[in-house]
């Protein structure tokens, strides 16, 4: 897996654009620690980066942006950090709403947000409701999400339908499985971006990224800008996608 280094300036955006970009927003905590700042400052700066990435996608005409907001594994963090994350979730919903409406961005959620504390759950539901009529870029927030949990949900639903007689097991193919995933109404990501210097998928969209182009950088998420995204999109535009063909 190749880590793409960031050049000093973005290249021109190519004609070939991804319809769907996925981002693992990594490096918030390391960014704060290396600067001697509280962890909350890394997360706050990460929200600014999310705003920039969303605006850039909207400006470029990218149809879907899926970001890894909170994984099921994040529950292992200490209570103080979790409290910060949930408070910032509420602040994000409150402070970003006007901008999302102005940019015509529609917010949707995948995962299991019902397990979040009530205030965070209400804040996200409000964001989804108030942007539902928007027709531009879809900002898809993966909240309390893991790909293995998603695949478990799909397997149980498939098993129930087979047991009920509404699904022939011999008819199950990859399209059938995809229709039972949380992203059933979205195209698979064309491009997955991971800032922060790590080169792994971290239990994110494992089924959906089978043929997704990967672009990784050592830039931490709080330092990720629209110019960084433009570099990733430009690199995507130079790639020949064969989907397993010759």
Q: pLDDT for 206-228, tens place per residue?
A: 999 999 999 999 999 999 999 99
* Backbone φ and ψ of 92, nearest 5°: -60, -45
Distance CA 188, CA 20 (A): 7
Asked if 134 is an active-site residue, the reply is: no
Number of Cβ within 10 Å of residue 195's Cβ equals: 27
Distance separating alpha carbons of residues 171 and 186, to the nearest angstrom: 22
The span from the CA of 133 to the CA of 246, in Å, is: 42
Q: Three-class SS of residue 222? A: helix
> Does the residue 11 lie in any domain?
no
Query: Residue 90 burial (CB < 10 Å; 0-12/13-18/19+)?
Result: middle
Domain that holds residue 227: 20-237
Residue 45 in any domain: the answer is yes
d(CA 110, CA 108): 7
For 38-77, the pLDDT digits (tens) are 999 999 999 999 999 999 999 999 999 999 999 999 999 9
221: left (phi over 0), alpha (psi -120 to 50) or beta: alpha
Which listed residue (74, 161, 218, 235) is catalytic?
74
Report if residue 6 sits inside a domain.
Answer: no
Tokens of 245: 């063909």
CA distances to 179, 190, 240, 241, 242 from 246, in Å? 28, 19, 11, 10, 7
Query: Does 100 reside within a domain?
Result: yes
Please indicate, yes or no, if residue 1 is contained in any of the structural domains: no
Is residue 245 situated within a structural domain?
A: no
Say whether 140 is catalytic: no
**Residue 240: its pLDDT value, please?**
80
Please report whether residue 67 resides in a domain. Answer: yes
CATH number at residue 181: 3.40.1180.10
- Average pLDDT of the chain is 92
pLDDT block averages, 10 residues each, the chain of length 246? 39 73 97 96 96 96 96 92 93 94 97 96 96 98 97 98 97 97 97 96 97 97 97 93 70
Domain count, the chain: 1
Say how many C-beta atoms besides its own lie within 10 A of residue 196's C-beta. 22
pLDDT number for residue 15: 64
- Rounded-to-integer distance, Cα 116 and Cα 120, Å: 6
Q: Is residue 5 part of a domain?
A: no
């Amino acid at each position: 897996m190749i880590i793409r280094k960031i050049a000093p300036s973005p290249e021109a955006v190519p004609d070939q654009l991804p319809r769907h970009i996925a981002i693992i927003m990594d490096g918030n905590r390391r960014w704060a620690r290396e600067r001697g700042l509280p962890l909350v400052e890394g997360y706050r700066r990460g929200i600014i980066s999310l705003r920039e990435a969303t605006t850039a996608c909207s400006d470029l005409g990218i149809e879907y942006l899926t970001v890894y907001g909170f994984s099921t594994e994040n529950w292992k963090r200490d209570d103080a950090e979790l409290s910060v994350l949930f408070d910032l979730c509420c602040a994000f919903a409150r402070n970003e709403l006007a901008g999302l409406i102005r940019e015509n961005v529609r917010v949707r959620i995948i995962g299991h947000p019902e397990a979040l504390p009530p205030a965070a759950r209400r804040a996200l539901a409000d964001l989804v409701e108030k942007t539902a009529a928007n027709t531009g870029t879809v900002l898809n927030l993966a909240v309390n999400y893991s790909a293995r949990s998603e695949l478990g949900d799909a397997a149980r639903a498939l098993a129930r339908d087979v047991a009920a007689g509404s699904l022939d097991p011999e008819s199950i193919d990859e399209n059938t499985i995809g229709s039972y995933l949380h992203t059933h109404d979205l195209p698979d990501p064309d491009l997955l971006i991971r800032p922060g210097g790590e080169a792994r998928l971290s239990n994110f969209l494992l089924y959906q990224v089978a043929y997704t182009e990967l672009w990784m950088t050592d830039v931490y998420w709080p330092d990720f800008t629209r110019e960084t995204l433009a570099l990733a999109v430009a690199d995507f535009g130079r790639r020949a996608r064969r989907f397993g063909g010759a």
